Structure 1
Amino acid sequence: MPEAIWISFAFVLGLAVKSVGLPPLVGYLAAGFVLSGLSATTELTIEATDELGHIAHLGVLLLLFTVGLKLKLRSIVSPEVIGGSLLHFAITCAVFAPGLVLLMDLEWQTALMLAVALSFSSTVLAAKVLESKRELRAFHGRVAIGILIMQDLIALVVMSLAAGQTPSQWALIVFGLPLLRPLLFRLLDASGHDELLVLLGLLLALVLGGYGFESVGLSSELGALVFGAMLAKHPRSQELAKSLWSVKEMFLVGFFLQIGIGGLPDGQALIFAVVAALVLPLKGILFFFLLLAFRLRARSGFLSSLALTNYSEFGLIVASIALPQWLVPLAISVALSFLFSAPLNRFAHSLYERLAHRLDPFESRKHHPDEQPISLGNTRVLIMGMGRTGTAAYDWLKDQEPDLMGLDSDPAKALQHQKEGRNVVFADAEDSSFWNALHMPAVQAVILALGDIEGKLIAARTLRKMGFKGYIVAHTMFTDEARQIRQAGADDAYLTMNETGVALASHILNKSPSANKHPGEH
């Protein structure tokens, strides 16, 4: 079975690419091109098979299903998300389409579809980058993900129009699908946390969503997205998405392999990809100024824009339906954009610190409601990051220290803490401009309970730059990170697992009568 050998080869190149900090899909594309080159220069016959095409289609359906699981109205119903995504899409198409007509002498319809494909940003890359830094729930992360979801919806509309499918009379059944939501919720509750959860996701995405919609003349991609969206409000929707992540990535290997095996790029394809890579910074600059127009701070606009400065695998999916002859040039453009975007996003925060003096003057005088500075008042102890560690610290201190406040970058989490009686407010504790604009005369101690090391380093460094002379303490999993946190300005950085062991031992001394007895006592 040749597909098994091809996928094994794709794994090797994907692993090699990942080792240098790039997304594995760049390696998958490279594997396809290498196989295509072997077919052209040797007697080997390597062609995309129906089986590989089927694997690729399953990967696309699972990708759209997981996008649907994130499709919560509150994440996209905001001016900066809707306005930013639609304006960026319109401006990009209005600039790219005439440019492609003039420079490459293309037909208007082809140029417009290419402009549409290049207007999208990569959901896979941005989500991975933000998740690795635990910034999916930060304000700039939520804005970026909201814009990506809007782009995915636009891409779905384009694919449906390009496919030109005529629905059957049975297609009206889909309007009754919301009635199935209670049943789907019960199935998700009953599926547990293991293989049944994965099987349920495959059933909904591939069978009911994909095949079901296709059988009534609708887009299978639309069906996968709809069934994902129907579960988006379930508390375990993200658990389902994570359980399908590896399966989806495995099937998407087939999609990228299929593109590469389709043929080697010619001179025109390479020129197109290089030009697309050269104009990529303009895409990020446009996002930055559009987000500033919606009153985001320079820092949030910069971090969101940097996450969106790439081309999208959705552009390839659109091209596979509307412009199959342009798949190879677009695939190279996507790969080059990842080579540019992945390293920059890794150092996004430190890069902003260097450019802040040039970017901050572009801010609006009126800030977005979610980015308004807050007053700490008489707060004496501040906890930055109200996850499990921050919450445990708050609950232990609240009876001994009444002037206590917590900060968290997730507004939903902050609201939940408020309902539970904790003094917690929404704020992005990693935002250096937030601290620079804040007056906190009574604060004596800060607990850094943020999820990522970079946030702790920036917060500690910024506090000391402000002249804060109080006590700063943090926790971390690793010894080298503890050393970095102390060097950034923290007084102490404790290893999480060591402290957990000490706490467990203290419970034995306090709770177990036998532990207090001396040898020989009964």
Structure 2
Amino acid sequence: MNHIYLIEDLGLILMAASLMMLLTRRLKTPAIVNYLLAGLAIGPAMGLIQETSHLDYISETGIVLLLFLVGIELNIGQFKKAGKEVLWAGFWQMSLTCIAVFGLAFGFQHPLQTSIILGLAFMFSSTVVVVKLLQEDRSMRAFHGRVSVGVLLLQDVAALAAITLVSSLGGSAESLDASMTTILVTSVGGMGMLIGFTWIASRYIVNPALNWSLPIPGMMFIWSLGWCFLFVAIAHGFGLSHEIGAFLAGLSLAQSRFSSELRRRVHPLMNFFVVIFFVVLGIGIKFNLSATMWLQVFTLSACVMLLKCLIIIGVLWKMGRRKEGSILVGMHLAQISEFSLILIALAGRKGLVTQEIQTMVAWTGIITIAISSYGVFFRKTILHWIQNNHRLCELFQWAEPESKSHSPLGETTKNILVIGMNAMGRDIVKQLASRGEMVTAIDSDPVKLKDLPCNTLHGNIHDWDLLDSAGFSKAKMVVSALQIEEANQLLAFRSHAADIPCCVMAPDTLVMPALLELDVSYFMTPFADGIKRQKAELSKRGLLDK
């Protein structure tokens, strides 16, 4: 009967997560906090779910897919171009935070092994939270967006190493020293072989396989999942963690021209499993912490938020970067990560930390993620308050407003986006390019993007990340040659919201009223125009009455 309880509990978990998102919608609470609160509600608060062992494998699948997605998003070329700001800011933030938290934990009389794990866990910031905040604010391309994402990519690599280390440890107090030799002997060799296989696959296997799967609907998605779990199985065979196998599988796909499309297709499935992971984690959180542990929660929360923010600001200022942008980077990265919760949960399963420590870290995550998110939400008010406070202005050396030439949003691109590379779309692109216009062509079929005299992007327009990377919010105009009514309505809606002129294909007059309500600027009516030209030509030849 376990399968019946599994289905019931899954349904309850998803309903609780959805309800919590609705209840906190106006408060703009981060999704991870909502999932943890949903787990608290149906677990410790109401007692609707008390046993979660039958959900562990499902929730762990979410972490495998999360790291698979992180690997896909890790563009090595972009990482190299991120600059020394990212390397120095990321290095000093992780190092100093780890040392400070280790010192605090050891000062609170936690065992050495627990203090080390807490130091490792708390040095990461939340990729999920920060990227979501940047996407909502349309500031991924701003200075603080680029630096924040670069630091997060660096931290993701470090988090992977920490997860691998913890997963290799045993459960005794002496396991840290005893396991290091085993890690070096058994894991490093397997890691090297798996990295070598990743490199070979990215060069010689991935692109031909994806090209083969492209004509079959849904095959690319199924193949990519199979590829992920193949790496997981190989990693397991080498004695490595499932997470590192998933990450390397994603990394092997990251350099493919299909990476953005794969990210879009895997993301919804990953979201489903990650919801289950964090709700199950919330179910395991207890309220009955001692007064001493609550003091540690608030002390660690304050330490992490202030220290991470001040380290980032100090490093970027030392390198001569913008004051406002530096503060925004610090505000975005002032929380612990979903990887912190994953690392502590993994350490708990290995017997390295107690349930009370896991609960303490979970509460610290809820507090730091919530406060940092609200800080970003009210960032304009905070920056304005700093600028109008004379003592803080002297501290921040904010004597006068910064030059507008350093605006984090950059300049308007004046780019024309053309969606849909059918015969009409390709002809529009070529004519616009011949007139000297900056054009970006977008299509879900990479074959149709070949030999075009402009920038091209492969992907689906339902993916906002794709449009954002094309510079949608600053485009000169959006042109859709698609004959898909739903897609054209979506483009018209987004263009109207961004105050961008929009021209769409109207196969017939029946679709025009709905598009006119969305304030479409221009229509292309090839079928109606073709009929008019045919009628005019027939009339000219005397074959049709005028």
CA 1:239–1:116: 2 relative to 1, 3 Å: same
What CA distance in whole angstroms lies between the structure 2 residues aligned with 1:73 and 1:327?
A: 34
Query: What does the per-residue CA deviation read over 1:384-426, in whole Å, with 9 as the maximum and x for residues that have no partner?
Result: 3536279x99985995xx9x999xxxxxxxxxxxx9699xxxx
- 5 Å-filtered alignment, 1:120-135, equals 120-135=124-139
What CA distance in whole angstroms lies between the structure 1 residues aligned with 2:13 and 2:526?
A: 55
The alpha carbon displacement at 1:307 in A equals 2.2
Q: Which residue of 17, 20, 40 corresponds with 1:13?
A: 20
* 3-state DSSP of counterpart to 1:120: coil
Counterpart position of 2:506: none
CA 1:15–1:513: 2 relative to 1, 3 Å: same
Q: Which residue of 77, 88, 112 corresponds with 1:108?
A: 112
Structure 2 residue ranges without an equivalent (≥5)? 170-181, 348-352, 420-427, 440-451, 456-469, 477-490, 504-514
Is residue 336 of structure 2 the alignment partner of residue 311 of structure 1?
yes
Is residue 345 of structure 2 the alignment partner of residue 320 of structure 1?
yes
% of aligned pairs identical? 22
- 5 Å-filtered alignment, 1:32-51, equals 32-38=39-45, 46-49=50-53, 51=54
Task: Kindly provide the amino acid, as one letter, of the partner of residue 219 in structure 2.
Answer: L
What CA distance in whole angstroms lies between the structure 1 residues aligned with 2:23 and 2:62?
A: 22
Q: Using structure 2 for the length normalisation, give the TM-score.
A: 0.68
* 3-state DSSP of counterpart to 1:21: coil
The farther-off stretch of 320-329 and 58-67 is 320-329
The alpha carbon displacement at 1:324 in A equals 5.4
Indicate if the aligned counterparts of 1:14 and 1:26 stay in contact, CA closer than 8 A: no
Q: Using structure 1 for the length normalisation, give the TM-score.
A: 0.70
The alpha carbon displacement at 1:13 in A equals 1.9
Query: What does the per-residue CA deviation read over 1:141-161, in whole Å, with 9 as the maximum and x for residues that have no partner?
Result: 222112111111111111212
RMSD: 4.2
Indicate if the aligned counterparts of 2:20 and 2:35 stay in contact, CA closer than 8 A: yes
CA 1:507–1:393: 2 relative to 1, 3 Å: farther
Query: What does the per-residue CA deviation read over 1:151-203, in whole Å, with 9 as the maximum and x for residues that have no partner?
Result: 11111111212222653787664233322222222222333495333322322
Indicate if the aligned counterparts of 1:159 and 1:318 stay in contact, CA closer than 8 A: yes
What CA distance in whole angstroms lies between the structure 2 residues aligned with 1:160 and 1:352?
A: 40
- 5 Å-filtered alignment, 1:72-471, equals 72-77=75-80, 78-102=83-107, 104-164=108-168, 167=186, 173-174=193-194, 175-181=196-202, 182-192=204-214, 195-205=218-228, 207-265=229-287, 266-267=289-290, 268-279=292-303, 280-322=305-347, 323=353, 325=355, 326-348=357-379, 352=383, 355=386, 358=393, 383-384=412-413, 386=415, 388=417, 399=435, 451-452=472-473
The alpha carbon displacement at 1:47 in A equals 1.3
CA 1:172–1:74: 2 relative to 1, 3 Å: closer
The alpha carbon displacement at 1:120 in A equals 0.7
Is residue 24 of structure 2 the alignment partner of residue 27 of structure 1?
no
The farther-off stretch of 342-351 and 8-17 is 342-351
Query: What does the per-residue CA deviation read over 1:113-146, in whole Å, with 9 as the maximum and x for residues that have no partner?
Result: 2122111110111111222333334443222112
What CA distance in whole angstroms lies between the structure 1 residues aligned with 2:210 and 2:114?
A: 43
* 3-state DSSP of counterpart to 1:384: coil
CA 1:503–1:220: 2 relative to 1, 3 Å: same
Counterpart position of 1:69: 72
CA 1:85–1:239: 2 relative to 1, 3 Å: same
Task: Kindly provide the amino acid, as one letter, of the partner of residue 286 in structure 1.
Answer: I
Query: What does the per-residue CA deviation read over 1:329-356, in whole Å, with 9 as the maximum and x for residues that have no partner?
Result: 2112212222222233345467546656
The alpha carbon displacement at 1:249 in A equals 1.3
Counterpart position of 2:524: 504
CA 1:476–1:83: 2 relative to 1, 3 Å: farther
CA 1:476–1:450: 2 relative to 1, 3 Å: farther
Task: Kindly provide the amino acid, as one letter, of the partner of residue 222 in structure 2.
Answer: L
Indicate if the aligned counterparts of 1:31 and 1:257 stay in contact, CA closer than 8 A: yes
What CA distance in whole angstroms lies between the structure 1 residues aligned with 2:378 and 2:536?
A: 52
The alpha carbon displacement at 1:312 in A equals 0.5
Counterpart position of 1:431: none
What CA distance in whole angstroms lies between the structure 2 residues aligned with 1:228 and 1:301?
A: 31
Task: Kindly provide the amino acid, as one letter, of the partner of residue 153 in structure 1.
Answer: V
Counterpart position of 2:9: 3
Task: Kindly provide the amino acid, as one letter, of the partner of residue 328 in structure 1.
Answer: T
The farther-off stretch of 53-62 and 159-168 is 159-168
What CA distance in whole angstroms lies between the structure 2 residues aligned with 1:421 and 1:36?
A: 55
CA 1:58–1:24: 2 relative to 1, 3 Å: same
CA 1:260–1:314: 2 relative to 1, 3 Å: same
The farther-off stretch of 70-79 and 350-359 is 350-359
* 3-state DSSP of counterpart to 1:388: strand
Task: Kindly provide the amino acid, as one letter, of the partner of residue 241 in structure 2.
Answer: S
Counterpart position of 1:513: 533
What CA distance in whole angstroms lies between the structure 2 residues aligned with 1:74 and 1:81?
A: 14
CA 1:212–1:85: 2 relative to 1, 3 Å: same
Counterpart position of 1:467: none
* 3-state DSSP of counterpart to 2:257: coil
Query: What does the per-residue CA deviation read over 1:428-450, in whole Å, with 9 as the maximum and x for residues that have no partner?
Result: xxxxxxxxxxxxxxxxxxxxx96
* 3-state DSSP of counterpart to 2:139: coil
What CA distance in whole angstroms lies between the structure 2 residues aligned with 1:173 and 1:509?
A: 62
Task: Kindly provide the amino acid, as one letter, of the partner of residue 48 in structure 1.
Answer: T
Query: What does the per-residue CA deviation read over 1:284-311, in whole Å, with 9 as the maximum and x for residues that have no partner?
Result: 2221221233333224323332321221
